[in-house]
């Protein structure tokens, strides 16, 4: 069935279920048994706040939608007109093709063609592998063009733990630094979190957070870059491979759910911080023919009491 998120691919493994949409290789739903671990997107709904979208070939923003390549200023399309930036890469509304499929996994692929401000040709793919207790997601790219090409990636899942109100969950992020931003949400510097509201190294209730913030200096043990904890002890861990050294956290109180507006939280693993096309931070330059893959994931564990 064709939906506003494209074709829906259904995955299953044990009691786990997931749905992926072909537009933006979007993670539309993941649940373990009857516990949803992401904000689901209904079949007839248009996603809000980029929920579940893959971010390629850059996550977050490019300041003024302009960057400099080989001494030339390149003008990207302005995809965040209110702030004058280019946001979330070039595949936000691109339909992907299904390349491989099993009961528990699917690989979706799409070319990133040359276009305004982007003279490169990439082949991009995303592999979703559903696990009994979570999901592993591998982003891959090969430079199919003739120029050395910059690349960064990220993802935009909104997390939850079943029906527990998101404001009652506690968030822990083992990040030593955060990126300060200007009024257009472009980075002005990487600062230490110590003694700031951005120190999440000890868990804090999501209801008390107001974040649209990139974190760096991650000290990940066992790949864990963020943990949501419910009062009943249930946990949802975000995992990131070594190449994913950054994490964006976005909280909102106006997420449109089935019962009206509510609090929601996006936890966004990234290989580069905001404005990487200009700063070069985390940016990977791929030679023609060069291939890269890297993974992030989610793991759920139920609490002692339910």
Partner 1 sequence: MHHPTGEQFSLRNGAARAEIGALAAVLRSLRIGDVHLTEPTPDDALPSHGNGIVMAPWPNRVRGAVWQLDGAPQQLDVTDPELGNAIHGLLRNTAYRERERTDDTVTLGATIYPQHGWPFLLDTWVRYALHEDGLTVTHGVENLGDARAPWAVGAHPYFRVGDVPVEQLTLTVSGDRWVELDANLNPVAEHSVDGGLYDLRGGRLIGELDLNTNFTGLTTGPEGSARLETPDGASLNLWQDEPFGWLVTYTPRDFPGAQGRGLAIAMEPMTAPADALNTGEGLRWLEPGERWEGSWGVRYRSGA
Least separation, in Å, of the C-beta of 4 and partner 1? Answer: 5
What is the rounded distance in angstroms from the CA atom of residue 120 to the CA atom of residue 99? 22
CA distances for 117 relative to 18, 19, 138, 199, 201, angstroms: 35, 33, 27, 36, 38
Question: Which one-letter DSSP state was computed for residue 85?
Answer: B
For residue 297, which of 223, 233, 231 has the smallest C-alpha distance? 223
Question: Could you say whether residue 90 binds partner 1 (CB under 8 A)?
Answer: yes
Contacting residue, 114, 203, 207, 217, with partner 1 by CB under 8 A: 114
What is the rounded CA–CA span in Å between residue 71 and residue 153?
A: 24
Phi-psi region of 89 (alpha: psi -120 to 50; beta: other; left: phi over 0): left
Among 16, 23, 32, 170, indicate the residue that binds partner 1 (CB under 8 A): 23
Place of tokens 């998120």: 5
Distance CA 294, CA 56 (A): 13
Residue from the set 48, 104, 111, 205 that interacts with partner 1 by CB under 8 A: 111
| Shortest CB 115 distance to partner 1, Å | 5
Among 15, 68, 102, 115, binds partner 1 (CB under 8 A): 115
Cα 200 from chain centroid (whole Å): 19
Please say which residue, 138 or 144, places its beta carbon nearer to partner 1: 144
Structure tokens at 115: 């276009």
- 132 part of the interface to partner 1, by CB under 8 A: no
Residue 2 as a binder of partner 1 (CB under 8 A): the answer is yes
Considering only the stretches 70-78, 128-136, 161-169, 190-198, report the one whose residues sit in contact with partner 1 under the rule CB under 8 A. Answer: 70-78
Please give the residue ranges that form the binding site for partner 1 (CB under 8 A). Answer: 2, 4-6, 23, 44, 46, 65, 75-79, 81-82, 90, 92-95, 110-111, 113-116, 121, 123, 144-146
């Amino acid at each position: 069935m064709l939906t506003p998120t494209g074709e829906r691919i259904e995955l299953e493994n044990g009691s786990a279920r997931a749905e992926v949409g072909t537009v933006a290789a979007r993670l539309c739903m993941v649940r373990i048994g009857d516990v949803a671990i992401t904000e689901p997107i209904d079949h007839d709904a248009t996603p809000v706040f980029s929920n579940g979208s893959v971010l390629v070939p850059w996550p977050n923003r490019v300041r003024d939608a302009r960057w400099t390549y080989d001494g030339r200023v390149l003008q990207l399309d302005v995809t965040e007109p209110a702030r004058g930036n280019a946001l979330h890469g070039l595949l936000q509304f691109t339909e992907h093709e299904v390349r491989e499929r099993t009961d528990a996994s699917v690989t979706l692929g799409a070319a990133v063609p040359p276009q305004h401000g982007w003279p490169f040709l990439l082949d991009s793919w995303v592999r979703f592998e559903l696990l009994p207790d979570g999901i592993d997601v591998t982003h891959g790219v090969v430079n199919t063009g003739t120029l050395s090409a910059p690349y960064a990636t990220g993802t935009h899942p909104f997390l939850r733990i079943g029906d527990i109100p998101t404001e009652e969950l506690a968030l822990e992020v083992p990040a030593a630094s955060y990126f300060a931003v200007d009024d257009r949400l472009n980075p002005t510097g990487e600062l230490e979190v110590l003694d700031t509201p951005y120190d999440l190294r000890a868990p804090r209730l999501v209801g008390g957070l107001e974040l649209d913030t990139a974190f760096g200096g991650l000290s990940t043990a066992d790949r864990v870059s963020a943990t949501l904890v419910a009062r009943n002890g249930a946990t949802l861990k975000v995992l990131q491979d070594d190449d994913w050294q950054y994490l964006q956290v976005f909280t909102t109180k106006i997420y449109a759910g089935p019962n009206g507006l509510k609090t929601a939280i996006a936890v966004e693993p990234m290989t580069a911080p905001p404005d990487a096309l200009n700063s070069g931070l985390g940016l990977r330059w791929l030679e023609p023919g060069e291939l890269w893959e890297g993974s992030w994931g989610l793991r759920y564990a139920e609490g002692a009491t339910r």
